[in-house]
Structure 1
Amino acid sequence: MTNKELAKQILDLVGGEANIGHVTHCMTRLRFSLKDEDKANIHAIENLDGVLGAQSQGGQFQVIIGSHVSAVYNELALMINLDNQAADDAAKPKGWFNKLLDTIAAILTPSLPPVIGGGMLKGFIFLFTSLGWVDPANATVVVLNIAADCMFYFFPFLLAVSAARKFRTNEYMALALAGALMYPSIINAATAGGAEPLMFLGFLPIPMVNYSSSVIPIILAVLLLSVVYRFFERIIPQMISVIFTPVLTLVVMVPVSLIALAPLGYYAGEYVAIGIQALINFAPWLAGFVVGATRPFLVLTGMHHALRPITQQQIATYGYSTMAPMNFMSTMAQAAAALGIYLVIRNKKMKQVSLSATISGFLGITEPALYGVLVKYKAALWAAVIGGGVGGAIAAMAGARALAPAMPSILSVPTFFGEGFFGFVIAVIVTVVVTVGITVVFGLRIKQTDDLPVVDDPEVLDVVETLEQTAGKLAEVFSPANGELYPMSEVNDRTFAAGIMGQGIAIKPKDGRVVAPFDGTIEAVFPTKHAIGLRSTTGLEVLIHIGIDTVNLNGLHFESQVTQGQKVHLGDTLVEFDIAALEAAGYDASIIVVATNSQDYLNVLPEEESGLIFEKERLFTAIK
């Protein structure tokens, strides 16, 4: 039986797509959350050729496949809509543009921490060097510049991982593609300029392009990778797939990426630059509005670099640039939009993110604002578009100009002294006021739902209103133990580390007691006593898993204090266990706390990801 046939029979025997709330897989088994387990024919599934067994455990219906489970899962993924499992139909993005932004947000958001850190550091370095407080050639400043620039320079690597997760493909193959784009020979040749294209197979040209800091090339490459890798996994026999699937994928994907996909953003940028130059010649005010309004999208695609030659050429020819003030207004608009979100948002984590993005944005680094705030909140994005466009138009009509090339930042204002400076100041004030005003007015909806993205498209306002009536509830989870926090990604178990079971966090316990993390009901007590499933009064489902592979102990060293169906309150003792005995037996005693129905929530935000934690301290918040 082929993997496709096996996936089809399993799908039919679990009750069809309509009966599936969610499905994931681990190393050996498919894990279904079924709406009605009575519809699953467990005996028929167990008798399928290729199935080792089936069982219902811990609120999941598990089909044990073996080492080729990922291949069966991939076939199953082609038969059902995995992205929409357990999701409210009203919450689905409508329209191609909203879907595109949601996809970009899902890929860019995981890279936010280093982007925020690097952006802030770059802003401070620029401030100190501009004021003459430090020497740019100082060794310490050079090292700090490396720390500030590395995540932007190697941005394709960061995006390769999150894109691979979004498109459900191998993360390490995606990193290999990023490595191909950033290969030193290509980067060096592009930087030096004038290098002839490499002729692949003697007739297919590979242009020498600098893909550092780019966004779209790697996303396009990983999107195609997800198709190609899955194709080879499907057609190559399982015994040799582990060798030949990666080989053939690289042979296909690296040339295709370098020849066609990756240069796409570069050439698109070239045409954008040509079009803008034509607009400048035709009508300065129109050019100002277009540049100021479209720059956020150009930054998202990495095409904003194509505008730099125009600025440089203007200064070389005329001694000033009218393009620079337009870019400046867009930068201020993006920072002002983040400021507007800061003024209306209540969520503590997003408030910190938006404030940090505001500061770095005004200092000239807009990536934290764009990737961390504007893409998430569409009201802020459109406010930045309108505010930047209006400001750019005013600056162009007032004859604002820059006398030297500089990063658009409040620290680079001196480069705009001279003719048109008064108009430049007016444009800045209008840009900030208009952008903040629009963001606050349309962002008031955010105040109702904290992290619920604002959709100001008239076609979906009714959807937003429906969401606001049913969402906006915060499900808080408090620590079930005393110990030290560490990220889920560092758990020594691939299933948990990959987030297959859901989002959460891990604790290295200091004592052998686990308590209830909220008021709720015990949904499942594993016979081995090492794991407990709970449901809060707000509907959040949480799995508390004590130790790694401790299921093998069959309950030894564990003492359960609750039973299935029992009501519990925050702080009630659930399990007592012997940490010393576990560690003496060679087991990791980490406590993993997972929101198993994470897919039903917009986000699961840990209060902290490191440091000490004590019982009944807030651990994470699930935002619906």
Structure 2
Amino acid sequence: MSKYTNLASFIIQEVGGAENIVSITHCMTRLRIKLKDNNKVNKEQLESNNEIISTQEAEGKLQVIIGTHVGDVYEEIIRQTGNHDLEEEEVEEKGSLINRFAATITKIVVPTLGVLGACGIIAGLNSVLLATGVITQDSGTYLLLNAMGNACLTFFPVILGYTSAVAFGMNPFTGMILGAILIFPGIADSMNDGQPLFSIFAQTPFEMAVHKTFFNIPIVFPAMGYTSTLIPIMLVNLAAAKLEKFLNKIMPAVTRQFMVPFITILIAGVLGVLLIGPLSMILQNGLQAILTWLISVSEILAFAIITLIYQPLVIFGLHWPLITLGLMEFAAGGSSLIIAAIFPASFTHMASCLAVFLKTRSTKMKNIALPAFLSACFCIIEPSIYGVTLPVKKRFAYCMAGGLVGGSILILAHSPMYSVSMGVTGFMSFISPVTGDFMGLVWCVIACIAAMAVTFSLTWFTYRPGEDGRNEDDVLTVADKANQSEIIASPMKGKVQALSSMKDVAFSKEGMGKGVCILPEEGKIVSPFDGTIEVLYPTGHAIGLKSNQGAQLLIHVGMDTYKLKEGLFKKHKEQGMKIKKGETLISFDMSTLQKMEYCLETAVILSNSNQYLDVIQTNNSQVNYLDELMTTIDLKQVDKG
């Protein structure tokens, strides 16, 4: 049973049952459900569940806001309802055809990168052992390590059969079988056995020989088979997913378990070999022809363009098609210059982060630069891009310049990669697994050092404190900004404690919302943001504020202070008034209250915290007026990401 089985069942029940669901999809934090009858929804029941943050209606759909684990809940609902439909308009909302294609490639390829990299490291290790004479090609050690290092790419269509099936919302085991059909042992040799019957697209880059037929329909099967390929299984499963969804709608429930996979595999398998496979070969040959032509015109220009556009593409999430092209090149020839050309990119970000880390005096900036540096070591450059380089655009340009230098060195030296592995673990991938030649590794080291030297020196010598136009202490990653709704400043000076430590259980149990407890050191409350006074209690012991960005803050001084007569708390503003950050709102005589033996624990609570994905409290144990106290993580902002 899934961790979210009960929650999924609860949601299905409270939206009117599975029969009331027309279709369902999800974004980063919320389910989007199109219903036949919205009147059947029990919103009160939904929102009473502590695993559901909130509900709302938008664009004719019910949105159930859950959090970042929404994908798991979605999958469980799909499992229970069998509803795999995605609405056409939902797909359209995701942007242009290019953006949707990039997003699909990302969904399918990204889950495989871990095993791709792992196998690449093993293949590189095997090459090192072979080159140094520790093992020989006929040894059992070499054979076993070779199998480990090449298993992923050899059976890549099966792996992608699973990930693409998940991406397209179909049975992943059906997807794996369709991938296995394309690489069935001996099928390539058998399909290309004997003299060709005829050729199609003769004397063109798209020429393909026909050796066999399927009920007199020509079969075009690549001589090397579909091992290591990406595009064919993606297209096969795209068609299979649509067929499977159609069959699930029309087939009786009692026959679906066997008949739907049977028909899907039969039709999609035949369609894949007879039509989709050859079309993907045409596409692949066309892309290869364009790349070959561009390289023939100017290899330096071609790869200079590749190295320059790679890092900007990462920003928009469009780099996976480029990596896919590199993997296609690798599959065709056993090595890739495209992936080699972009290999130094992560090292430029390491250099930029290191330079900023050493230069800056800001603790916060150091805390951003160091983790970004470590991530870049393993070719995860997004933290660097969004936290260190892109906020100061010239730094990003320096990384591009360094990447161009490093990539150009590898291209001029014609040093391809022989397996797929990036970052510091990828150096061994430049050693030829056939000859054991080390020169590729040597050139790779030279290229990465040069790339890092260019980026580091440019970043170091042009660095200026606060050059992004703000105090470095205020620098946040773009990812943080995407998630951050508002910073709530401290309205008081004093010691910070967890809300759970308060004696007043109304606050300590977070029944009023999330927040912190402050033990005041001065008798004054100032406005933590620009906004409005929503509520001001007559005694002045408590005040409710609303910021211009929507945060609702309750500041409650002391325990049982509601019993006090008016006058002990001086009100400097009135209810309904507009306020500016830093303005004094309330003042009080701490010594008098302490003599009266009142506990002055002050609750600073975000009363609408249930509208946010999270509320992050300061780690500081002491705050002054207007120090950063809390940061809201806004569901709407996350959703836009």
TM category, shorter: 0.3 to 0.5
- The normalised TM-score by structure 1 is 0.48
The structure that has the greater radius of gyration is 2
What TM-score do you get using the length of structure 2 for normalisation?
0.47
